[in-house]
Every structure is written in C-alpha cells, then in structure tokens.
Amino acid sequence: MSSRWKMPILCAALGCGLLLSLPARGADEGLQVQMLKQMFRQPQPEWPGVLKENAGLIDDSFFERIDQRIRWSAEANQVEDAVRFSLVGDFACEAIGREGAYRMGLVEAFHKAGNDEVAQGLIDNILITNPNNALAHFYRGGYRRDMNETGGAIEDYNWCIEHNFQTANCYYFLGTISVVMDKQPEARKYFEKCLAIDPNHVQALRDIGYLAPPAGGGKENIFSDIPVQGPPNMKAIRKVEAKYHDQYFNKAEAAFRAGKFSEAEMSYEDAINAEANHADDWIYLAALHYRLGKLDLGLRELRQGLTLEPKRVDAWRYVGCCYERQFDRTQAPNDLKWAKEAYKKALDLQPGDPVASMALERLGSKKAAAPKAADS
C-alpha cells in the first residue's frame, strides 16, 4: 500500500477513531518493545496469541505508545506502518477484554482523506477477524454500492438491519439500489420503511418524491407520461464533491451567460451530482435543455425541480413552454392540454403574470390535429 493520503485531513480524523488514554506509566517500556519484536517475527495470525500471553504488559501506557506510533506513521506517510500498528492496537484490546477501534478509526480517516482503496482493505481485514463488526458491514455496503456490487451491498445492509444497526439509513440505501435496478415499487417500500423509523430523513423524503405514483393511484396529471429523472450520475466520468456545489452552479451560470452551453450543461450536472436537492439546479438545467430543444430532458428535470419547490412560477412557465413547443412538433392533443394547464398553474401562483397570460392567449388560436380515420 503506497498510496499517499491527504495529511491534514487524516491527522485530524485520527483523533475521532483511535482509543486515546491518559498517560499511566506502569509496564516496562523495554519489555513492551521486546514483546512487539517477538510478535512481529511471527505470522499475523499468531499475533493475538502472543499478546494474550503477555497481557500483563498491556496497560494504558502501551495504548498511548500505539497511538503515538500511528500518528508518527501518519505524519511520515508510512501507510503500511500505520495499518500494522492499528492491527496491534485492536488485537491488544481483545487480549485484555477491551473493545478496540483502531482499524475502524483508520478506515474513517482514510475515507475522509479520499484513500478508499486502503480503507476497503482495512474493512475486509476487520471483518475477517471480527465478522460481527456492524460499522464495518455498513461501510462495506457503501463501497459495494458505489462499485455496483449490488448483491454484496444488499447483503451487508440486510445484515445491519437484522442487527439493528443504522436501520433507517440501510433502508434508504436499499431504496436507492432499487431505483438503479428500475424497481420503483420496491424502492418506495424501502423509503417508506426508512421514513417510518426516521420521519425527517432528508434524502428519503427527497427521493420518494422522485418516484412515479403507486400503481392505480393518482389521476392523470401534467407529468403522467414524464419518466422520473434522478441525478445525472456522472460520477464515473467526473468526480464531484458536495462542498463545491456552489462553485459548480456559479460556473454553470457564467458559462450559460457566455453562450457556452455544453460547459453550462456539464456544470449544472456537476452541481446536481454534488447535491441533488436544490430546485434551482434542476430548473435552470431544464431551461438550458429547453433552449437546446431537448424537451424530454427538460420536462424530466422540471418534474424534479417542482417536486422540491412546487410553487415555482418560473418552473411552471417552462413546463408550459416545453409542452407548447412539443405540441408545435406533434400536434398531439395532450401536449396542448398540458401546456395550457402549466400556464394556468403559473397564473394561479402569480395572478396577472404577463408571460403566462400571453401564452394562454397564444394557445387559444392553436388546435390539435384531428384523429386519423381508421382504415376501412
């Protein structure tokens, strides 16, 4: 393992996951060092036995030195050394009947530092020696989900649910997996289970709104024939970070004003991938797609934006515009009907709105094509 980590992030994160003890000098440091040298000469599976045989040398001073050694390894960018001593720390805890979290502390630190390869290796190591570590199962489920290892992710999340660990989040992630697998009824059930446990779960509240209405429920409406549009899911191509959401959005706006539409489209998608719960991102991307004539995409994105903010007048105007332009192409009665409905919603929200008023007046002169006579 030679990957470099982001040092300031890692060192800051270590304090959250490692066992820190107050200095309590007891056992002889020289004997402790001698024990470790003897242990390192043995295969790793023998380490727990060596530590148990020398449990009398394991005290607070031992754990303090383990902490110091891991921190020194972090500062020196010695990944393998830090991992090795985190393993020693956990085995030493086990030897004296104490709960250890050294490796899990490193997992969280590596994850925050962006070194997921090392973090995943540690998780696998933890589950070999401690197959009932719930947090390790939860983390592994996340990594498997990100790598599209769907079966493994489902297995880990169900394991956590059975052991009553992070149940709301596990149901939510099972729901997102079902969405990717195009199993919307199943996704709805998972999101509902999540919300039954945590009624304020932000992501589940947001994502359940993206789903199509339950079968047989709800009458025909403006978006009846518009598929659900989730985040663009460009992560495999462009890596984004939530903390840079505003920069992505501002970059998109600047590119749009400059007429650089491809760049604007890409940056709006980055903003949505960073944080998918901003109505502006969806609505402005829809406006761009309307301008480019991509009406199917625009309507999907407007559906998402209005799910987040149902009273957006500008969004309802664009829905009307999309259907009106679509009607000009298709002469389909439903396109004309939904264009009128959308402009009326804009007027309901903002009486006297000039854009919607003029649009409705314009639509009054448009007629849908007569249905074709059946062949005799």
* Residue 269 predicted with pLDDT over 70: yes
- Within 181-294, where are the H helices? 184-197, 202-208, 245-257, 261-274, 279-291
For the segment 76-81, the average pLDDT, to the nearest whole number, is 68
Q: How many Å apart are CA 102 and CA 136, to the nearest integer?
A: 12
Distance of alpha carbon 325 from alpha carbon 250, whole angstroms: 28
Q: Six-digit token pair at 240?
A: 């984004």
* Number of CB atoms found within 10 A of residue 370's CB: 8
Tell me the pLDDT band of 29, cut-offs 50, 70 and 90.
confident
Contact 69, 91 (CB under 8 A): no
Q: What is the pTM of this model?
A: 0.47
Residue-wise pLDDT tens digits, 178-211: 988 878 889 989 999 999 999 888 888 878 877 7
- Do residues 154 and 173 make contact, with C-beta atoms less than 8 angstroms apart? no
Say what the pLDDT of residue 8 is.
38
Task: Decide if 175 contacts 204 (C-beta within 8 A).
Answer: yes
**Higher-confidence position of 41 and 230:** 41
**Residues whose CB falls within 8 Å of the CB of residue 291, separated by 6 or more in sequence, listed in order:** 261
Q: What are phi and psi of 102, to 5 degrees?
A: -65, -50
* CA distance to 54, 105, 153, 175, per residue, from 146 (Å): 42, 21, 9, 14
pLDDT band at residue 133 under the 50/70/90 scheme: confident
**pLDDT value of position 212:** 61
| CA terminus-to-terminus distance, the chain | 76
Looking at per-residue pLDDT, the higher value among 90 and 317 belongs to: 317
User: Could you tell me the pLDDT band of residue 229, with boundaries at 50, 70 and 90?
Assistant: low
Average pLDDT (245-253) is 95
| pLDDT value at residue 117 | 76
Q: What phi, psi does 65 have (nearest 5°)?
A: -70, -35
Residue with tokens 């389909």: 332
| Residue 108 scores a pLDDT above 70 | yes
Q: Which of 4-18, 158-172, 220-234, 264-278 has the highest mean pLDDT?
A: 158-172
Q: What is the mean pLDDT of residues 357-369?
A: 89
Contacts of 96 (CB under 8 A, 6+ apart): 55, 58
Specify the higher pLDDT residue, 48 or 225: 48
Query: Which residue, chain included where needed, has tokens 């007569």?
Result: 370
